[in-house]
Chain A
Amino acid sequence: MNRTWVVIPMYNEATVVGSVIQSLRTVFPQVVCVDDGSSDGSQDIARTAGAVVVQHPINLGQGAALQTGIEFALQDPGMRNVVTFDADGQHRIVDAAAMVARLDAGEADIVLGSRFLDDRTQIGPMKRLVLKTAAVQSRMATGLDLTDAHNGLRAMNREVASKLHLTQNRMAHASELVHQIAEMKLRWVEHPVEIIYTDYSKSKGQSLLNSVNILAELFFR
Chain B
Amino acid sequence: MLLIVQIVLVLAVILVSFVLMRGGANARHLAIRRIMLMIFAVAAVASIFFPHVLTSLASFLGVGRGTDLVLYATIVSFFVFMATTYQRFRHAENALTALSRRIALDEAPKPWADDRR
Binding site for B on A (CB under 8 A): 1, 3, 30, 32, 34, 52-58, 60, 64, 67-68, 71-72, 75-78, 167, 169, 220-221
Residues of B within 8 A of A (CB): 86, 90, 93-94, 96-97, 100-101, 103-105, 107-112, 115
Judge whether A54 and B105 touch: CB under 8 Å: yes
Q: Chain B residues near A75 (CB, 8 Å)?
A: 105, 110, 112
Count: A-B pairs, CB below 8 Å: 53
Closest to A220 in B: B86
Name A64's contact: one of B97, B105, B107, B115 (CB within 8 Å).
B97
Q: For the complex, what is the distance from the CA of A67 to the CA of B28, rounded to whole Å?
A: 34
Given contacts A56-B100, A167-B94, contact A1 B105 (CB under 8 A): no
- In the complex the two chains form, what is the Cα distance from A26 to B38 in whole Å? 67
Pairwise interchain contact A76-B112, C-beta atoms closer than 8 A: yes
Check if A56 sits within 8 Å of B112, measured CB to CB: no
Given A56-B100, A57-B100, the answer on whether A78 and B112 have CB atoms closer than 8 Å is yes
Contact partner of B108 (CB less than 8 A), chosen from A3, A30, A57, A72, is A72
Query: Can you spell out 30 A-B residue pairs with CB atoms less than 8 angstroms apart?
Result: A1-B112, A1-B115, A3-B112, A30-B111, A32-B108, A52-B109, A53-B108, A54-B104, A54-B105, A54-B108, A56-B100, A57-B103, A58-B100, A60-B96, A60-B101, A64-B97, A64-B100, A67-B101, A68-B101, A68-B104, A71-B101, A71-B105, A72-B105, A75-B105, A75-B112, A76-B110, A76-B112, A78-B115, A169-B97, A220-B86
| Interface contact A34-B112, CB-CB below 8 Å | no
B100 pairs with A60, CB closer than 8 A: yes
Q: Which residue of B86, B97, B105 contacts A60 across the interface (Cβ within 8 Å)?
A: B97
- Residue of B104, B105, B115 ringed by the most chain A CB atoms within 10 A: B104
Q: Is the CB of B104 within 8 A of A77?
A: no
CB-CB < 8 A to A71: which residues of B?
A: 101, 105
**Which chain B positions have C-beta within 8 A of A1?**
112, 115
User: What residues of A have a CB within 8 angstroms of the CB of B96 in the complex?
Assistant: 58, 60
A67 to chain B, nearest CB (A): 7
Query: What distance in Å separates the Cβ of A81 from its nearest Cβ neighbour in chain B?
Result: 15
**Chain A min CB distance to B30 (Å):** 21
